[in-house]
Amino acid sequence: MNGTTLRQITGPVSFVLIVVVCWFVAGMVADRMVQQELDAALRTQRQMSTSIVDNMAQVIASDLAMSRAIPATMSEMDVVQRALVQSQNYAANSEAAEPALRAALLKDPQMAAVSRFLHEAQGFSGLDQVWIVNANGICVASSSTMSNPDAAQQSFVGVDMRARGYLTNALLGGFSEAYGVGRASGEPGIFIAAPVYANGLLVGAVVAKVGIARLRHWVAHAGTFVSDDNGVIIMAHNSTLEGHALPNSRVTQMSPADRRIVYRRDTFPDMLIREDTQVREQAPWVPASVAAQLFGIVEQPAPALYQNRGGLNSGLSAHLVDPLAAWPELLRNHKRDHLLVFLTLAGTVALAWVITVSYVRERRHHRATRDLAEQLQSANTLLSAEARHDALTGALSRRYFLDLLRHAIDRAHAGHEPLCMAIADLDHFKQINDRFGHAAGDRALEHFVETCRAELRSSDAVGRLGGEEFGLLLPATDLTGGREVVERLRLRLKAVPSPKLPASVGLSVSIGITELSPDDLPERLMSRADTALYAAKTGGRDRTEALPPDDTAPPTRTAVNAW
């Protein structure tokens, strides 16, 4: 074989070898470049999805805490306790006895009065329905009886409700809460049951229902959904997912009869949230450690980030399936980068040109990522400040104050320290708005908060509960000391006028204060402080009233204040 023939053979072979090597090297470079873009996209989107699901979980926990307070407070009321004590002789041994029981209860004037009370309570509480059940499991009064008198014969009154799962724990003395579908209405909702004691004896339970339709704001963001403790999706931004079951959920272990009792249905399609095994098939350049963080569902072809939050004191859990928005662009970028790097390696001129373009593009990408991260951090900081403080007065927001109250109660119980809670309400605030304008009303609210800061300790807290009503939290303070503090605050507000208000504006405040007892929950502590405030208001305003933690006198309000 002569040299000419050898060159004729090795020339094409060398060219093919160079092309193969360049293509292989270009693939490695492209993999590295797109991996960096994927890492940046994942970091940014994970921060956003974490913020979304955390906020969703906080909203769920806060809403349910507010809903729990209504039946819990009603269970402490004399009118409910007396009705349940008087109804202990109502019992049923079979469904055939229910019509007679219903007729007797509907004719009972005391039960009719309680039904009217429950109807009025439902109207201001935001609940869909409220009823009370005696210790024998018989519904003796219901808000729906008064809301639709023509359908009273079809109400819960007289029905034996012992088979309801949400009622079982309440009739055993425990607070319970569960998702279910109404047997009569067919409407889903959250059922809350609180036991009722009279003279130390369990006499029945107060049951309330919050319809799912009232809670749709939980899933306002695309990809969010809520599941109950059985793993059934009860609410979703994409309504077609509702009624599906999560993988390995407890509902698959329930008997058909139990499913029908709770959900009024037997079958629950699976919603498969699994590690997306197609990612590596579609994009081999994705590292295995990164691919394990991406999930897929049948209804969503693109890989997604999956976040969930449980432990909301309700059996509910918040979920977010957030498709990776940058995925299609990443696939396109990989193919493009592969080709560009290959062309760069094909010649010196192309190499210099592609390196320059790649460098500029990378710098622009990193700068954009950095700017996005800074914007995200600024947005998170602003959102956190807005969530913690009232925009007008600078006091703590209602939600943050309630969270702070719960933590303070836990610390006081753990450390066996005293704790005082007060509720303050500016007197004749509507007259200030009507006479001097809403701007003057705003200045009055600001002046009250400034007075609180000047008079209270740095460890104390003031939060705006709504309108002209404020909550005051005094850690490590007993009732005697707490009353002295708020009395000084009341006198200072009256004695030191605000330079921003007209001289004729006279500010005064009514304050109700109470002290934490060893077995107090936040709802009971706030209810007692609210009762003390009401006493201050009815006693002539511009005064302080204290209610001891062991005070057993019934509240003088005709309706419970819904926090």
Contacts within 8 Å (CB) and 24+ apart, 271-274 = 271/233, 271/241, 271/244, 271/245, 271/246, 271/247, 271/297, 271/298, 272/247, 272/297, 272/298, 273/246, 273/247, 273/297, 273/306, 273/321, 274/247
Mean pLDDT over the full length of the chain: 83
Gap between the Cα atoms of 76 and 197, Å rounded: 8
pLDDT, mean of residues 29-49: 85
Residues 460/466/467/470 CA torsion (nearest 10 deg): -20
With tokens 């498969």, the residue in question is 272
More confident residue, 48 or 123: 48
Least confident residue range of 290-299, 450-459, 486-495, 515-524 = 290-299
Least confident residue range of 301-315, 321-335, 345-359 = 345-359
Maximum average pLDDT range among 104-113, 376-385, 392-401: 392-401
Q: Does the pLDDT of residue 350 top 60, yes or no? A: no
Maximum average pLDDT range among 126-140, 264-278, 334-348, 476-490: 476-490
143 Cβ partners below 8 Å, 6+ apart? 115, 118, 119, 121, 122, 129, 130, 131
- CA 383 centroid distance within chain: 16
Handedness of CA 78, 83, 89, 94 (dihedral sign): negative
- Per DSSP, the residues of 522-544 read HHHHHHHHHHHHHHHHHTTSS-E
Q: Which fold has domain 6-346?
A: Beta-Lactamase (3.30.450)
pLDDT, mean of residues 273-285: 70
pLDDT tens per residue, range 476-512: 999 999 999 999 999 999 988 888 888 888 899 999 9
Q: Does the pLDDT of residue 291 top 90, yes or no? A: no
Domain map (residue ranges) of the chain: 6-346, 398-547
Asked whether the beta carbons of 494 and 508 are under 8 A apart, the reply is yes
- So what's the pLDDT on residue 562? 33
Gap between the Cα atoms of 167 and 128, Å rounded: 17
Gap between the Cα atoms of 7 and 19, Å rounded: 18
pLDDT tens per residue, range 158-172: 888 887 877 888 888
Domains 6-346 and 398-547 share a fold: no
- So what's the pLDDT on residue 275? 63
- So what's the pLDDT on residue 380? 56
Residue 357 structure tokens: 């373009």
- So what's the pLDDT on residue 17? 82
Asked whether the beta carbons of 408 and 475 are under 8 A apart, the reply is yes
Least confident residue range of 166-180, 200-214, 526-540 = 166-180
Residue 377 structure tokens: 């951090």
Q: Does the pLDDT of residue 219 top 60, yes or no? A: yes
Gap between the Cα atoms of 157 and 139, Å rounded: 5
Tell me which CATH code domain 398-547 carries: 3.30.70.270
Residue 256 structure tokens: 């058909």
Q: Does the pLDDT of residue 128 top 50, yes or no? A: yes
Q: Does the pLDDT of residue 381 top 60, yes or no? A: no
197 Cβ partners below 8 Å, 6+ apart? 75, 81, 203
Angle separating helix axes 438-455 and 479-495, nearest 10 degrees: 130
Gap between the Cα atoms of 536 and 213, Å rounded: 38
Gap between the Cα atoms of 31 and 407, Å rounded: 49
Gap between the Cα atoms of 410 and 471, Å rounded: 18
Q: Which of 376, 377, 400 is nearest to 387 (CA)?
A: 400
- So what's the pLDDT on residue 63? 83
